[in-house]
Structure 1
Amino acid sequence: MRRRITSLTVLAALVATMLFALPLGLAVWQYYHDDAKGDLERAADAVALVVAPDLNAGRTPVLPPLGEEDDEAEGDVGVYAPDGRLLAGHGPAVAGPVELQAAKATADVVIGLEGDEIALAVPVVSGARVTGVVRAALPESVLPLRIVLTWLAMVGLAGATTGVSWLLARRFTTRLVRPLEDLAAAAGRLGDGDFTARSPRAGIAEIDRVGETLDATAARIGETLERERAFSAEASHQLRTPLTGLRLQLEAALETPSADPYAAIRAGIASADRLERTIEDLLSLGRERRAPRAELNLGALLEEVRQAGEALLKPQGRALRIVREDPPPAHVAAAAVRQVLGVLLDNAVTHGRGTVTVVARDAGDALAIDVADEGPDLGETDPFATAPAGHGIGLRLARGLAEAEGGRLRLSRPGPPTFTLLLPAAEPPAPA
């Protein structure tokens, strides 16, 4: 990319130089020809003013002495009679066509090529009579030399300009490409799994916007993976509830050999089904995005809670009570609510005492589900904090699931411990 940008910059400089050089070269050619004509005309007019009195009086004119600089600038100057004889100065002994044409007094100035010289003739007149002709000439080789030297200087200047363009292109290309290389390196680290990789800012708005987008993408991917890792760790804790129920049922069957083994087997199969449903719920909740939800079947959900709660509490000699106080409908994921209530039920079984009460009620614009037990007062303890023994992992997962459904999970009363799940109630249908 560096070479391509540099080549394009140099090519653009060359094209621009050529576009200006061609008309400028023609202008130089025209300038030197006009300048040579002006110099010859000034020299001829100056001499004509000096020799006019002698020519008009019929005397042989005497040219004034010329300085070295004037001689080089004006070239050869000669004075001719109307019949073409050289009277004074430098020039051919016989007048050429330029001088003869000037002698006819048809034009004030006559210019043309004579051999290898550029000649300019000015007539000297007295009234209507031509008394002489002043001729000024320059070697024709002088003009091409001057033009070529000027063109060479222009070529040198164009080369210097192209070189400066090349240097500037390399400098700005380095400044432009280095941020892109840094972006590529950051993208490579991101592809290798380093989601802390960030691209430096280059001070170029377009490149910085790409860097900001890449940084935001890396941050989102890192946060997503972190959430998935945390979710996996917490979900493994969540599987404890159905496993605990299955273990208690099997232990109770072993301790009472006189009991019906088929009942224990059926209860174990039911617990295994709940375990399978828990796994499916966790996988589904870990993958799915937020989407429109169907209305929650609260009756079926509470029945599942009753079955799971009795399997856990009955071996401990404890009871489960479920109360419905005209709860409103809600559009939430049944899997999420099932897992939240499973966490609260497991928490009441593991850390609580006595009867566990589940109340579904109307809380204004929300569906509230309270889970309470007769355990000791929690006081100022934060049940959602993860303790060294692992307590609070399931509650933290339950809170995350509730918030993902637009709801809240909080400790509504520390004594006796009561947790309340608040879910947004469905809006009533608009009247026809």
Structure 2
Amino acid sequence: MRRRIISLTVLAALVATALFALPLGLAVMQYYRDDTKAELERAADTVALAVSHELNAGLAPVLPRPDADDDAQVGIYTAGGRLLAGHGPTVAGSAERQAASATVDVVIEQEGEEVVLAVPVLSGSRVTGVVRAARPMSELRLRVVLTWLGMAGLAGAAIGVSWLLARRFTTRLVRPLEELAAAAGRLGDGDFTARSPRAGIPEIDQVGETLDATAARIGETLERERAFSAEASHQLRTPLTGLRLQLEAALETPAADPYAAIRAGIASADRLERTIEDLLALGRERRAPRAELDLGALLEEVRQAGEALLQPQGRALRIVRDDPPPAHVAAAAVRQVLGVLLDNAVTHGRGTVTVVARDAGDALAIDVADEGPDLGETDPFATTPTGHGIGLRLARGLAEAEGGRLRLSRPAPPTFTLLLPAADPPATPCRTGHHA
């Protein structure tokens, strides 16, 4: 890319120089021709004025001393074309003959290797002589060539400066792009902490800021997905534990009806499948309008899952509905939160587990309590080295994603409360008028 930019810059400089130099070179040539004509005309007029009296009187003219800075060769001719004084051919040439004809005031021509200018000397309407001024063509060519060489040198210097500036600005332009490409490469390799440096060029910096924002979003998304995957794997333990306990109970009581154990195992497998589907759906889901929560069906699922977990331990589950309000939340999220609380009560609690759905003003409250020991100042949502708290942390994240809250409402007996925003009651239509 560097080469291409430098080459294009130098090419543009060459084209611009050529477009400028060609007409300027022609103008220089024309200028020197006009300048040579002016100098010859001045020299010829000076001599013509000096010798006009002698020529008009028929006397032999005396060529005046030339100026120090005038190197034109001047000759004086008769009207018939014979050289009287000065420098020039013995016999007049075409320019002198044309000037002697008195049809033109000044005649300039190229004769051989000289530029010749002839002016007539008049006495009234009669031509008494011709003054010839000449310069070598080589002198004119030398002046033109030297000027062209100077122009070529300036053009070369301009192209050289363009090349140097192109290298400098190309480095300034390409280096940020290379660093941006390197940052993009690190991002493609999985380094989401890669950040592109700022170059001070608004367009490149804008691309860098966009790339940095993209890297940050991808990193945050990946981190959330990793955390969700780790916590979700812990969440699968609840239905697996229930299935294992049912199978172990069936093995310990071989006289019991095997079909009942099979049916219970199939029900636990169904709950496991539902848990997997819920977790996958929640992992992909975005916040959107929710349908009204079917609390009755949800509590029935909680009852089935709780009995499967608690009955092998000889413990009971009690579910109470205390006029709970409706709520518009994702059933999958609430199901998983209650599954975590139920598993926590089974694993770390004792005695009867009580689930109460009640009205908490502007919220639907679901309490999950057991008869376990006092939690005291312990933070149940903190992850311990043994892994405790992962499920509760996931449950709290799911509750907050639905606009609710999950908290430890009482440490003794341990009671966790899930608060979900209640649905707005339907508006009562206003009626006007009087009844008859």
In 2: Cα distance, 1:261 partner to 1:116 partner: 129
In 2: Cα distance, 1:145 partner to 1:100 partner: 29
- Residue 368 of structure 2 is matched in structure 1 by 371
Q: CA deviation at 1:77?
A: 0.8
- Residue 51 of structure 1 is matched in structure 2 by 51
- Residue 24 of structure 2 is matched in structure 1 by 24
Secondary structure of the structure 2 residue equivalent to 1:24: helix
In 1: Cα distance, 2:422 partner to 2:130 partner: 118
In 1: Cα distance, 2:33 partner to 2:426 partner: 96
Q: Which deviates the most, 7-16 or 177-186?
A: 177-186
- C-alpha distance 237-96 of structure 1, shift in aligned 2 (>3 A): same
Letter in 1 for 2:41: E
Letter in 1 for 2:35: D
Letter in 2 for 1:205: P
- Partner of residue 279 from structure 1, selected from 259, 276, 280: 276
- Partner of residue 337 from structure 1, selected from 322, 329, 334: 334
Q: CA deviation at 1:370?
A: 2.5
Letter in 2 for 1:10: V
- Residue 171 of structure 2 is matched in structure 1 by 174
- C-alpha distance 427-128 of structure 1, shift in aligned 2 (>3 A): farther
Secondary structure of the structure 2 residue equivalent to 1:378: coil
Q: What are the residue-to-residue correspondences of 1:235-246 with 2, within 5 Å?
A: 235-246=232-243
Q: What are the residue-to-residue correspondences of 1:223-302 with 2, within 5 Å?
A: 223-253=220-250, 260-302=257-299
- Could you tell me the percent identity over the aligned residues? 86
Letter in 1 for 2:269: A
In 2: Cα distance, 1:427 partner to 1:12 partner: 71
- C-alpha distance 417-110 of structure 1, shift in aligned 2 (>3 A): same
Q: What are the residue-to-residue correspondences of 1:50-129 with 2, within 5 Å?
A: 50-66=50-66, 69-71=69-71, 75-129=72-126
In 1: Cα distance, 2:245 partner to 2:282 partner: 28
- C-alpha distance 414-131 of structure 1, shift in aligned 2 (>3 A): farther
In 1: Cα distance, 2:89 partner to 2:424 partner: 117
In 1: Cα distance, 2:138 partner to 2:18 partner: 26
> How many pairs were matched up?
429
- C-alpha distance 148-416 of structure 1, shift in aligned 2 (>3 A): same
Q: What are the residue-to-residue correspondences of 1:211-222 with 2, within 5 Å?
A: 211-222=208-219
Secondary structure of the structure 1 residue equivalent to 2:115: strand
- C-alpha distance 383-89 of structure 1, shift in aligned 2 (>3 A): same
Q: CA deviation at 1:376?
A: 4.1
Residue by residue, what CA displacement relative to the aligned partner does 1:361-384 show, whole Å, maximum 9, x if unpaired?
A: 344554332323344443433221
- Residue 34 of structure 2 is matched in structure 1 by 34
1:196 matches 2:205: no
- C-alpha distance 33-254 of structure 1, shift in aligned 2 (>3 A): same
Letter in 2 for 1:344: L
In 2: Cα distance, 1:254 partner to 1:115 partner: 130
- C-alpha distance 170-107 of structure 1, shift in aligned 2 (>3 A): same
In 1: Cα distance, 2:88 partner to 2:117 partner: 12
Q: CA deviation at 1:258?
A: 6.1
Letter in 2 for 1:226: E
- Residue 147 of structure 1 is matched in structure 2 by 144
1:351 matches 2:348: yes
Gaps of 5+ in 2: 430-436
Q: CA deviation at 1:342?
A: 0.5
Q: Which deviates the most, 376-385 or 36-45?
A: 376-385
- Residue 432 of structure 2 is matched in structure 1 by none
Q: Which deviates the most, 19-28 or 177-186?
A: 177-186
In 1: Cα distance, 2:161 partner to 2:391 partner: 69
Q: CA deviation at 1:129?
A: 4.3
In 2: Cα distance, 1:145 partner to 1:285 partner: 90
Secondary structure of the structure 2 residue equivalent to 1:141: helix
Secondary structure of the structure 2 residue equivalent to 1:169: helix
- Residue 4 of structure 2 is matched in structure 1 by 4
Letter in 1 for 2:414: P
Letter in 2 for 1:60: A
